[in-house]
Amino acid sequence: MDTSSIKRVVVIGTGLMGPGIAQSFAASGRQVSMYGRTQESVDRGLTSLEANLRAMQKAEMLDEEDVVRIRAAVSGSTDLESLAAEADLVVESIIEELPLKRSLFSLLDRVCLSHALICTNTSGLPVTEVAAEMARPERAATTHYWNPPHLMPLVEIVKGERTSLETVELLRALLLEIGKRPVVVWKDVPGQLGNRIFHAIKREAMYIVQEGIATAEEVDLAIKMGLGLRFPAYGPLEHTDLNGLDASLRIESYLFKSLCNDDEPLPILKQKVANGERGLKDGKGFYDWSKRDAAEVRRIRDEFLMARVKELYPPKKRLQ
């Protein structure tokens, strides 16, 4: 089996991630169906897809012909079993609850074609547990797309304990073909790869605020104007090699003693949640969102990502 045999893709979930995942496969010329529990949710997903396409057209990443072609390749449905019965690849992106995902995978295992690959877009649940009730778990893997999935190149492929090497390599080839930059996580560990790094950064960032070392605004600015600009050019391990491992050893011998190493969520996070300061949904978290425009923050993020992706991966090359 090779990537040419994967012609029909089903994306389960029409919320935050589903439309972008569907768009990525449709751009490669494949027929994609998005499943939603209600027609209303399907319609919302298709509307989000249209908005993503038009934003990319405005940024000159797509032309009108691309938009029309990709949109025509995506349909929506509330009939999951009929969709799954014809799919070569299923990607689910539902709520992060293990029992729900496990039940869904068990259903897909019974309904899907024998060659179909079944993937979860979980950001942390072990695919080994998600696929625990499957008769053919060798076909199951995690493909963790980063948000927003139609723009972010990274996809983490996590090999479960019973995922076959053939499945891993086929998914890697497929994701490269649709313009993604996949990495393989060979051990099915909590947080996979990127989120382990991200939450380590978040822990130290929150600790710095908690201890009064710097404000939330100063922490975020330091990331945006420092590490965030440098990391696309080279990663921390490349940086370590270039600077010298002996230099890192000297610095870390004294620095690590002062870094946060708590193995539970920090008191500042627990207290904010207890106080009803859960972020945007409550209007307050580390920032006062009554004084900030969340849509504007996301717009700036997406425009930055589109500019970077367009620079790194020219549109016509990406859509081939």
Phi, psi (rounded to 5 degrees) for 119 = -120, 145
Find the length of the chain. 320
Q: Which residues neighbour 213 within 8 Å (Cβ) at sequence distance 6 or greater?
A: none
Q: Is 156 a catalytic residue?
A: yes
Tokens of 173: 């080839």
Answer whether 201's CB lies under 8 Å from 174's CB.
no
Q: Is 5 a catalytic residue?
A: no
Tokens of 313: 């991966």
End-to-end CA distance of the chain: 21
Q: Is 199 a catalytic residue?
A: no
Q: Is 123 a catalytic residue?
A: yes
Whose tokens are 């491992």? That residue is 245
Answer whether 132's CB lies under 8 Å from 161's CB.
no
Tokens of 57: 């057209």
Answer whether 145's CB lies under 8 Å from 21's CB.
yes
List residues bridging with 32 in a β-sheet: 9, 74
Q: What is the CA radius of gyration of the chain?
A: 21
Q: For residue 168, which of 181, 185, 180 has the smallest C-alpha distance?
A: 185
> Which residue type sits at 105?
F
List residues bridging with 154 in a β-sheet: 181
Rounded to the nearest 10°, the torsion over CA 68, 71, 145, 301 is 60
Q: Which of 33, 52, 123, 150 is catalytic?
A: 123
Q: Which of 195, 239, 248, 277 is catalytic?
A: 195
CB count within 10 Å of CB 139 equals 27
Catalytic residue numbers read 123, 144, 156, 195
